[in-house]
Chains A and B, each alone.
Chain A
């Protein structure tokens, strides 16, 4: 009995030492993260698309798959099909295929806890795109940072027209179905704008809740959703509450919603006293920014190009790097002045993306982003 107890203690000590050593080796790997010999031969990735009906999601996956295959990796692609049940069954299939890294793009948040459990239990490193998954590293826009840039750009436009807190009402349009992780963009936008526009009463983002509608006497929060028609009908009604002698600034989290909102503005003949800002980099937004004076800025996180950032992140994780809480892509706010710096003149085709945020600079060490050669200052 005594002998057994000693053996057990020895096993426990050896296990603890092994665990500590493995943790140390992971920590050491964090400092490297480059591709050994620029090859991913023998590496296997599993990639679940949010919904293959959305072409932009497919583009994202294609960028990832093509480059990974070129480097010798195997990629199994799954389609979460926009629903939680499919996402859950895909997670089981992905775990069973035993990849080195799993990339999962949930279309809804409903199944993320269960999916996270499956990945964590299997001990496979995983990346969650856009919607957090418990236990996975997270890749997404830095919503707050992008919204702050958006507010700064809008404040510049307001200053040029002589608009301030005394003559302007700011409408922020949330998309209630997307929850706090996305709608923090609208509250952050308002908060930052209130800090820098003269005459606006300062408001903290945390003071604007999902049910807040009136923000002192200078702002409104409405639910414009993500679609053209909801943006149109909501703003059509909301404009009734704003006297026609006040200027209006509209900010939403989707270009479609902004497009619908600005149609409502035009229908009420208030375009000359309105400025709008969108989110997403849709061709319609670019046309409007280049040719008109109502849609003045657009927040862009280069969504279709996320595949290259995510591949770099997957490779870094495969090499033992522990990513920061949020890895973000290049982000920019475009206006009439800078739009042709990042996009080919007259089109929505990217020529160069701005430098990646500081917290994402570890991606550069993998050498993946250099292969695409489309980020400012990053060359092969």
Chain B
């Protein structure tokens, strides 16, 4: 009986059926972004203007740069909490060096080198010694954040005006760092989608043991993700210091969670093997636009926190449902 029914169904012309699993990971959150923009455009005076768009993009730029590094690590199956320590450390170092007369590019390079060193430390503990990434990056968050405070002596340091080039305006009120951020987004997207390195990051995030058996150098690829993440965080710190023309041990310390939230919103799985640059971009923009729109609507900050949390929870729940639907289908 059952066989007969199946046979009949097979004979009938199949109509394309909507299922959750068919949707691309970024489609729903992208649709939600469009919806949010539409709602704010109608309700918030001054939201849909070029000036405000510039404000959103330039405010989100630092988080976007940090999120690119976070994305690489999340796809490879880990996560990097140390971003919240690396950003203030790089900002304070950049400020100290430029104030003491270092040329801007040399100071930038020094900060990126510190990022590489922190990345190697992560690689050693997480990839070689197999220490849990949560514990390792929590420890380096504390160490790098602490060094930031030591270097600044708890004070706010100034960045000389001529060293803050990245924060200077290039087109209208659009600063340089936004252009650099866009370039980095394109480069990381190409790296992930069109290079062997990118495919291998996905492989080790999906199943590192299978990737190892298939000949992927898990140590090298996994370690590279952590090094790139720390370098991106260091660069984000320099951008932040240039944007503010100042730095302190506390600046940007909450970007860790924002970057993690953005990549998860964009469809990345905390279990690894899934995620994309367009998704992360949508995630960062969604969080930025919600914060901006609610400020323009003069929503009290306590409510803003609640709304941001609900949006994140909804996105993660949807992602989980989609995963389950994929498994069933």
Footprint of B on A, CB under 8 Å?
A: 53-56, 176, 210-214, 220, 222-223, 226-229, 232-234, 236-241, 255-256, 259-260, 263, 267-269, 282-284, 287
User: How far apart are B179's CB and chain A's nearest CB, in angstroms?
Assistant: 15
Q: How far is the CA of A39 from the CA of B62 in the complex (A)?
A: 56
User: How far apart are A294's CB and chain B's nearest CB, in angstroms?
Assistant: 13
B323 at the interface (CB under 8 A from A): no
User: How far apart are A243's CB and chain B's nearest CB, in angstroms?
Assistant: 9
Q: How far is the CA of A222 from the CA of B304 in the complex (A)?
A: 12
> Which of A239, A268, A282 contacts B156 (CB under 8 A)?
A282
Chain A residue with Cβ nearest B155: A55
Contact with A along B43-56 (1 / 0, CB 8 A): 00111010110010
User: How far apart are A346's CB and chain B's nearest CB, in angstroms?
Assistant: 14
Q: Which residues of A contact B207 (CB under 8 A)?
A: none
| With A222-B295, A238-B295, A240-B49 as contacts: A269 and B248 at CB distance below 8 Å | no
Do B59 and A236 have beta carbons less than 8 Å apart? yes
Q: How far is the CA of A226 from the CA of B250 in the complex (A)?
A: 9
User: How far apart are A375's CB and chain B's nearest CB, in angstroms?
Assistant: 25
Do B169 and A267 have beta carbons less than 8 Å apart? yes
Q: Which residues of B contact A211 (CB under 8 A)?
A: 300, 302-303
Do B155 and A234 have beta carbons less than 8 Å apart? no
> Which of A214, A228, A237, A267 contacts B246 (CB under 8 A)?
A228
Do B246 and A241 have beta carbons less than 8 Å apart? no
B325 at the interface (CB under 8 A from A): no
Chain B residue with Cβ nearest A259: B246
Q: Which residues of A contact B119 (CB under 8 A)?
A: none
Q: Which residues of A contact B292 (CB under 8 A)?
A: 237, 240
* Interface bin, chain B: 35 or more
User: How far apart are B101's CB and chain A's nearest CB, in angstroms?
Assistant: 18
User: How far apart are A212's CB and chain B's nearest CB, in angstroms?
Assistant: 8
Q: Which residues of A contact B154 (CB under 8 A)?
A: 53-56
User: How far apart are A359's CB and chain B's nearest CB, in angstroms?
Assistant: 30
Q: Which of B109-117, B237-245, B270-278 contacts A (4 or more CB under 8 A)?
A: B237-245
Chain A residue with Cβ nearest B175: A267
Do B156 and A53 have beta carbons less than 8 Å apart? no
B296 at the interface (CB under 8 A from A): yes
Q: Which residues of B contact A263 (CB under 8 A)?
A: 243-246
Chain A residue with Cβ nearest B152: A55
Do A237 and B149 have beta carbons less than 8 Å apart? no
Do B243 and A210 have beta carbons less than 8 Å apart? no
B58 at the interface (CB under 8 A from A): yes
Do B240 and A229 have beta carbons less than 8 Å apart? yes
| With A222-B301, A267-B175 as contacts: A259 and B156 at CB distance below 8 Å | yes
| With A259-B244, A267-B173 as contacts: A287 and B158 at CB distance below 8 Å | yes
User: How far apart are A54's CB and chain B's nearest CB, in angstroms?
Assistant: 5
